[in-house]
Amino acid sequence: MIGVDEALARVLSAARPLGIDSLPLAAASGRVLAQDVLALHPLPLFTQSAVDGYALRHVDLASLPVQLPLAEPIAARAQPVQPVLGPGTAARILTGGLLPRGADTVVRQELTQRHGDAVTVLDAVALGSDIRHAGEEMPAGALVASTGQRITPGLIGALALAGVAQVAVWRLPRIVVLVSGDEVVQGGAPLQLGQVPDANGPLLVAFLAEWGLPLTRLEPVADTAEAVRDAMARAFAEADIVLTTGGVSVGDHDYIPAVAESLGAKRLLWKVAQKPGMPLYVAEHHGALLFGLPGNPASVLVNLMVYVRAALDAMQSLAPGLRWHTTTVAAQLRRDPVKTLWLRARQHLDADGRCQLHPLGGQASHMLGNLAQANALLRVDPVTEVHRDLLRWSALT
């Protein structure tokens, strides 16, 4: 067996970005930029009003209050030419409206009184008040977003305002899931004695959906070498990542490692000094990565979060893997002398705003009850028994 850190390093050595797609901005939410994005025009695009009020010349406010006749109003809309404001006049202007030539100040309407075709300015304002100048936020050609940045709704708004309509993003991996086991029954079908409902298939689909990753195909596979070979050959032909559940230990029907290597896969690792999830198998087949996950759902979840997520991040040129924090645990924990223990835990803030982590009961790999309450994964490295030691944890989201 190898340690957790060595296993993760081997996975990351084989996980590489997959290539670049060009997408319309509206279809790029959640994707990762593969190139820097520059503003196509200045922000703001033109000098404009920051408020609803009146555009005027500051020199006309020499004595207050002052009444000024009103010129044509200026709405926030297309203008055939820039309006011109004559001396001694004011123009009603709305937020975002193009500042007329000649105006150098906007007085917000709360500081005025309207009288038909004239406005009275009641309070003094500084020269240049409430004006957004063209390019004051950024000039044309300025960097708006960087390579490796995930595209959020807010970033889409910023890019659209900067005139960007198309972006280059890293291609999403094609993913095939193979669920093995003659005892596994799909989709809520009636169970016979000795059968169990499929938990791993829905778990894997939900995990991928949470990270915005489409599933190419999910296929149940019978416990025969021929069925595993056929399914795996098809998966290698169409996927960048193949995820299998079950069939990776040393049982009579655990065919995944042998079949993968008979098809030309190169083993990266098999068996990690961890609990749960020890019989993890990872191999590479002509650029595709195979993750042979153990059959117990708790083992599947741990290996998804620790290893598969790291590979998925690396394939999109993101900093790979979980984001680790340190904490103390107000409980006595017995560590394994050899294996890293992954404990499902509940994280919350106490009354003083301090992070508190509580390992949950039922930590065996076949036990599922605490998956409903767990929101954190606690890493307990192999040493002797400790009390309130500093440990690493990460959110399970």
Instruction: Give the CATH number of the domain where residue 116 resides.
Output: 2.170.190.11
Residues 125 and 143 in one domain: no
Query: Higher model confidence: residue 330 or residue 104?
Result: 104
Residue 255, domain extent:
4-18+172-315
Residues 55 and 84 in one domain: yes
What pTM does this model have?
Answer: 0.83
Residues 251 and 112 in one domain: no
* Bridging pattern class, strands 376-380 and 340-349: antiparallel
Query: For residue 320, is it within any domain?
Result: no
Query: For residue 337, is it within any domain?
Result: yes
d(CA 282, CA 267): 6
The gap from C-alpha 220 to its chain's centroid, in whole angstroms, comes to: 29
Residues sharing a CB contact under 8 Å with residue 57, sequence separation 6 or more, in sequence order: 85, 87, 88, 102, 103, 104, 105
Query: For residue 187, is it within any domain?
Result: yes
Residues 273 and 249 in one domain: yes
- Contact between 119 and 113 (Cβ < 8 Å): yes
Residue 389, pLDDT above cutoff 70: no
The secondary structure of 94-137 as a DSSP string is -TTPBPPBT--EEEEGGGEEEETTEEEE-S---TTTTEEPTTSS
Residues 218-236 have a mean pLDDT of 94
Domain boundary among 170, 195, 221: 170
120: exposed, middle or buried (C-beta count within 10 Å: 0-12, 13-18, 19+)?
middle
Residues 354-364 have a mean pLDDT of 79
* Bridging pattern class, strands 288-293 and 376-380: unpaired
Residues 298 and 196 in one domain: yes
**Residue 9: count of CB within 10 angstroms of its CB:** 13
d(CA 166, CA 142): 17
d(CA 89, CA 54): 10
Give me 89's structure tokens.
């006049």
Give me 316's structure tokens.
């999109």
d(CA 133, CA 87): 21
pLDDT digits (tens, 9 = 90+) for 58-80: 999 999 999 999 999 998 888 88
Residue 208, pLDDT above cutoff 90: yes
Name which of 185, 200, 198 is nearest 300 in CA terms. 200
Please give the helix or strand (H or E) that residue 54 lies within, else none: strand 53-56
Query: For residue 227, is it within any domain?
Result: yes
Could you tell me how many residues make up the chain?
Answer: 397
Residues 60 and 108 in one domain: yes
Q: What is the percentage of the chain residues whose pLDDT exceeds 70?
A: 96
Residues 199 and 288 in one domain: yes
Residues 149 and 38 in one domain: yes
pLDDT digits (tens, 9 = 90+) for 246-276: 989 877 778 999 999 999 999 999 999 999 9
Question: Which CATH number do you get for residue 352?
Answer: 2.40.340.10
